[in-house]
Chains A and B, each alone.
Chain A
Amino acid sequence: MGKTIAEKIFAAHLRDEPFPGTYVLDLDRVLCHEITTPVAIADLVWRNKDRVFDPTRIKAVIDHVTPAKDSKTAIQGKILREWARRHDIKDFFDVGRNGVCHALFPEQGFIRPGFTVIMGDSHTCTHGAFGAFAAGVGTTDLEVGILKGVCAFRKPASILVNLQGTLPEGVYSKDVILHLIGILGVNGATDRVIEFRGPVVDAMSMDARMTLTNMAIEAGGTCGICLPDQTTVEYLWPFIKDDYANQAAALEDFRRWHSDADAVYERVLDLDVSNLEPQVTYDYKPDCVKPVGELAGTRIDQVYIGTCTNGRLEDLRQAAEILKGRTIAPTVRGILSPATPKIFREALEEGLIAIFMDAGFCVTNPTCGACLGMSCGVLAPGESCAATSNRNFQGRMGQGGMVHLMSPATAAACAVTGVITDPRTL
Chain B
Amino acid sequence: MERTFGGTALFLDRSDINTDEIIPARYLTEVTKDALKPYLLEDLLLDGFDPQGPALQQASVIVTRRNFGCGSSREHAPWALEVNGIHTVIAESYARIFRQNMFNCGMLAIELPAADLERLFALQTAGEVQVSVDLAAQRVVACAGDQKFECGFEISPFDKALVQAGGWVEFADQRY
A residues within 8 Å of B by Cβ? Answer: 15-16, 18-22, 24, 35-36, 38-39, 42-43, 47, 49, 64-65, 70, 72-73, 75-76, 79, 120-122, 124, 136-141, 143-144, 147-148, 150, 152, 154, 186-187, 190-191, 220, 222, 285, 372-374, 391, 393-396, 399
Q: Chain A residues near B161: list those with CB within 8 A.
A: 18-19
Is the Cβ of A38 less than 8 Å from the Cβ of B31? Answer: yes
Listed A/B pairs (27) with beta-carbon separation below 8 Å: A16-B175, A19-B156, A19-B158, A22-B156, A36-B75, A39-B33, A39-B75, A72-B29, A73-B29, A76-B29, A76-B31, A120-B75, A122-B73, A124-B73, A138-B74, A139-B101, A141-B101, A141-B104, A143-B169, A144-B169, A148-B172, A190-B94, A222-B96, A374-B29, A394-B45, A395-B20, A399-B43
Q: Chain B residues near A72: list those with CB within 8 A.
A: 29-31
CA distance in complex: A144, B43 (Å): 31
Q: Chain B residues near A396: list those with CB within 8 A.
A: 20, 25
Chain B residue with the shortest CB-CB distance to A189: B96
Is the Cβ of A373 less than 8 Å from the Cβ of B25? Answer: yes
Q: A187-B95, A190-B67, A190-B93 are in contact. Are A39 and B31 (CB under 8 A)?
A: yes
Chain B residue with the shortest CB-CB distance to A143: B169
Which residues of chain B from 84 to 117 have any CB-CB distance to chain A below 8 Å in the complex? 93-98, 100-101, 104-105
Chain A residue with the shortest CB-CB distance to B78: A138
**Interface extent on B, as a size class?**
35 or more
Is the Cβ of A187 less than 8 Å from the Cβ of B70? Answer: yes
B residues within 8 Å of A by Cβ? Answer: 16, 18, 20-21, 24-26, 28-33, 43, 45, 66-67, 70-75, 78, 93-98, 100-101, 104-105, 156-158, 161, 167-169, 172-173, 175-176
Is the Cβ of A393 less than 8 Å from the Cβ of B20? Answer: yes
Chain A residue with the shortest CB-CB distance to B104: A140
CA distance in complex: A393, B69 (Å): 12
B106 to chain A, nearest CB (A): 9
- The one of B31, B33, B95, B169 in contact with A47, judged by C-beta atoms closer than 8 angstroms, is B169
Q: Chain A residues near B104: list those with CB within 8 A.
A: 138, 140-141
Nearest 10 interchain pairs by C-beta: A138-B75, A138-B101, A140-B104, A72-B29, A22-B158, A187-B67, A139-B75, A122-B73, A372-B25, A19-B157
Chain A residue with the shortest CB-CB distance to B30: A72
- The one of B31, B33, B43, B71 in contact with A391, judged by C-beta atoms closer than 8 angstroms, is B71
CA distance in complex: A137, B168 (Å): 12
Q: Which has the most chain A C-beta neighbours within 10 Å: B18, B24, B97?
A: B97
Chain A residue with the shortest CB-CB distance to B105: A140
Chain B residue with the shortest CB-CB distance to A53: B176
Q: Chain A residues near B96: list those with CB within 8 A.
A: 190-191, 220, 222
